[in-house]
Structure 1
């Protein structure tokens, strides 16, 4: 029997690998449209983001898309524009995982698809179909 006390939360590097695996599992056509998208994994959103998103605690936000979505125009069209970025927040994701019956990989995939969905301006139904295609 495995000793649950010996289990450890994934590190930032392990969560980045999990996010990379989730991204690679997305449908090819969907990923092709994400060219130039940068994915960051950090422990928590910064204070400015928490204030901007009106979060009560640092655990309220699992991920965030920052940039110019495809529906609003092409990224990089404005000189000095940062690339489109998705932030995945490790500690809030782990907290969510601890309270639900989903695998950590499924949660990371869900958050990633949801945030990429903002990039595309997709509906919830569209995002659910992409998640289903990713397995």
Structure 2
């Protein structure tokens, strides 16, 4: 387990880790993301959890908010940029529970998962791809 932080990393530190992970992604993916916005918050708000039928706030580590590429049309021009939010405390809990990977690796995993939603992949699609890999 990576202990260099001494204390739990702040939202700003986790955002920098996510930005570094994003910068390392292959250009063939990032060039299709446009002006996507990344944010780190401690937890998802209760409304989002209800909307996603999630009862426990620690179960949601990230969310993609936007219009997947597979659903876009000219009618969507002028809309707000897509957004990926990472939830700090659920990520930290999962990191502690796993104990077998770095925080950077877990943040990268969550980020790639949410980017998958941007490309129109479902959770089932991504789990199948992960299992295949």
Q: List aligned pairs for 1:122-133, cutoff 5 A.
A: 122=121, 123-124=125-126, 128=130
Q: Is 1:64 matched with 2:66?
A: no
Shift of 1:54: 1.3
Paired residue secondary structure (1:99): helix
Contact in 2 for aligned 1:42/1:90 (Cα 8 Å): yes
Aligned residue pairs total 124
Distance 2:74 2:94 in 1: 31
Q: Is 1:14 matched with 2:13?
A: yes
Distance 1:127 1:30 in 2: 16
> TM-score under structure 1 normalisation?
0.83
> TM-score under structure 2 normalisation?
0.84
Displacement over 6 Å in runs of 4+: none
Distance 1:39 1:75 in 2: 24
Distance 2:74 2:25 in 1: 21
Distance 2:19 2:74 in 1: 22
Name structure 2 gaps, 5 residues minimum: none
Name structure 1 gaps, 5 residues minimum: none
RMSD of aligned residue pairs (Cα, Å): 2.2
Distance 2:43 2:50 in 1: 13
Shift of 1:75: 8.4
